[in-house]
């Protein structure tokens, strides 16, 4: 079938004129890493919280180090971006998060947990460095839910002191996107989490299906924040990836690449269609598609404007 033919193409992601865009996989466990196969150039988001959920106590350094080493081995020398614990809100923990928060999505979640539980982050960083030593791999490490340059700086200091060489943060809070240059001054790379960026930009709970029209990455306000982040990345010559679900949509992928995003990370099954779409468009065409989307007034208009400029079968 056409789909099988698409899946057989495991060439690196690139536009038709050879502008490289790394295509990476989102995973939650080491077993997921084994299933990624040759269709991804690595792992762009390893959601480590899966190891912590439904536990009475935090996993030990040894246990975490084993899990991280297994994922790094499964990746076989390819790039791996590990995200530190993103607990709280929709991912509660028995031993660390605060069950009585009135607005958990705006409360102590993600990196903010370091305020009350710094040992969780330090244990995790120690485990990652052990996994690094055991495998010879050098994962990139990033923190979720960073809102300010000072948080980025504090995380980077902690991670570098632990022995992590390449440190980044996620951009998924509008404040971080608006001040992306100041954030990038503190770290080596950023990765845009469009799921939360859309949630916080549009003030729309990502779990409320009936608000899906608001919770839409095609909303021009969300695209503006992605554009601002990518612009800061180009100015500082530092990588700006996208690891939210939007990277799985081939049409949106063209927009993201046109905005200047340097890698796309999504569920592995989504990558063949994204690869195919990129291969049929030049970088300049992606930029025109992105400009058209940014010029729209509404989400449906942004999507339609992008669609009008692409090859028929994207």
Residue choice 193, 239, 241, 250 for contact with ligand PEP (CB under 6 A): 193
Q: Which residues contact 255 (CB under 8 A, 6 or more apart)?
A: 223, 286, 289, 290, 293, 306
Q: Kindly state whether residue 41 participates in binding ligand PEP, applying the rule CB under 6 A.
A: no
Q: How far apart are CA 96 and CA 126, in angstroms?
A: 19
Least distance to Mg ion from the beta carbon of 244, Å? Answer: 7
| Options 4-12, 115-123, 182-190, 191-199: segment touching ligand PEP (CB under 6 A) | 191-199
Backbone angles phi, psi at 97, to 5 degrees: -85, 170
Q: How far is the CB of 190 from Mg ion (least distance, A)?
A: 13
47 scored as a contact of ligand PEP (CB under 6 A): yes
Binding of ligand PEP by 268 (CB under 6 A): no
Determine the interface stretch with Mg ion among 22-30, 64-72, 195-203, 290-298 (rule: CB under 5 A): 195-203
Position among 194, 219, 229, 262 found at the interface with ligand PEP (CB under 6 A) = 194
Total residues binding ligand PEP (CB under 6 A): 10
Percent helix, strand, coil in the chain, to 5, is: 50, 15, 35
And the tokens for 164?
């992590």
Task: Count CA atoms within 13 Å of residue 51 on its CB side.
Answer: 28
Which two tokens mark 64?
């975490």
For residues 88 and 260, which CB has a smaller minimum distance to ligand PEP in the complex? 88
Residues numbered 161 to 180 that lie near Mg ion (CB under 5 A) are 172
**Of 129, 24, 125, nearest in space to 80 by CA:** 24
H-run or E-run covering 82: strand 79-83
Q: Which is nearer to ligand PEP, 111 or 283 (CB)?
A: 111
Ranked by CB distance to ligand PEP, the top (closest) residue is: 193
**Which residues lie across from 190 on neighbouring strands?**
169, 240
Query: Smallest distance, Å, CB 117 to ligand PEP?
Result: 19
Is 193 a binding residue for Mg ion by CB under 5 A? The answer is yes
**Applying CB under 6 A, does 190 fall inside the site for ligand PEP?**
no
138 binds ligand PEP (CB under 6 A): no
- Kind of pairing between the strands at 189-192 and 140-143: unpaired
In this structure, are residues 184 and 176 in contact, taking their beta carbons and an 8 Å threshold? Answer: no
- What is the C-alpha to C-alpha distance for residues 18 and 4, in angstroms, rounded to an integer? 24
Q: Is 196 in the site for ligand PEP (CB under 6 A)?
A: yes
**Contact in structure between 173 and 196 (CB atoms under 8 Å):** yes
Q: Is 249 in the site for ligand PEP (CB under 6 A)?
A: no
Compute CA 106 distance to the chain's CA centroid, rounded to the nearest angstrom. Answer: 19
φ, ψ (nearest 5 deg) of residue 49: -60, -20
Binding flag, residue 151, ligand PEP (CB under 6 A): no
Residue 112 touches ligand PEP, criterion: CB under 6 A: no
241 contact, one of ligand PEP, Mg ion, none, CB 5-8 Å limit per kind = none
Q: Which residues bind Mg ion (CB under 5 A)?
A: 172, 193, 196
The contact set with ligand PEP (CB under 6 A) reads 45, 47, 86, 172, 193-196, 243-244
């Amino acid at each position: 079938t056409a789909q099988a033919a698409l899946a057989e193409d495991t060439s690196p992601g690139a536009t038709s004129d050879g502008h490289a865009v790394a295509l990476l996989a989102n995973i939650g466990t080491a077993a997921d890493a084994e299933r990624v196969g040759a269709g991804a150039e690595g792992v762009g988001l390893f959601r480590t919280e899966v190891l912590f959920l439904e536990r009475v106590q935090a996993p030990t350094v040894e246990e975490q180090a084993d899990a991280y080493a297994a994922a790094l081995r499964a990746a076989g020398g390819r790039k791996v971006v590990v995200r530190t614990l993103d607990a709280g809100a929709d991912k509660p923990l028995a031993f660390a998060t605060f069950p009585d928060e009135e607005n958990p999505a705006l409360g102590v979640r993600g990196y903010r947990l370091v305020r009350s539980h710094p040992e969780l982050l330090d244990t995790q960083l120690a485990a990652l460095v052990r996994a690094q030593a055991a495998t010879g791999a050098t994962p990139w490490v990033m923190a979720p839910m960073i809102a300010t340059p000072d948080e980025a700086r504090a995380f980077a200091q902690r991670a570098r002191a632990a022995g992590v060489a390449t440190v980044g943060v996620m951009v998924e809070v509008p404040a971080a996107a608006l001040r992306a240059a100041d954030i990038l001054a503190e770290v080596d790379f950023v990765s845009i989490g469009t799921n939360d960026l859309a949630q916080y930009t549009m003030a729309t709970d990502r779990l409320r299906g009936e608000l899906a029209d608001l919770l839409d990455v095609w909303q021009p306000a969300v695209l503006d924040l992605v554009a601002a982040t990518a612009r800061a990345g180009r100015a500082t010559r530092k990588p700006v990836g996208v690891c939210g679900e939007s990277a799985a949509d081939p049409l949106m992928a063209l927009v993201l690449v046109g905005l200047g995003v340097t890698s796309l990370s999504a569920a592995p099954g989504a990558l063949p269609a994204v690869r195919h779409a990129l291969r049929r468009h030049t970088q300049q065409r992606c930029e025109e598609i992105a400009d058209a989307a940014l010029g729209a007034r509404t989400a449906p208009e942004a999507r339609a404007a992008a669609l009008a400029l692409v090859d028929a079968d994207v």
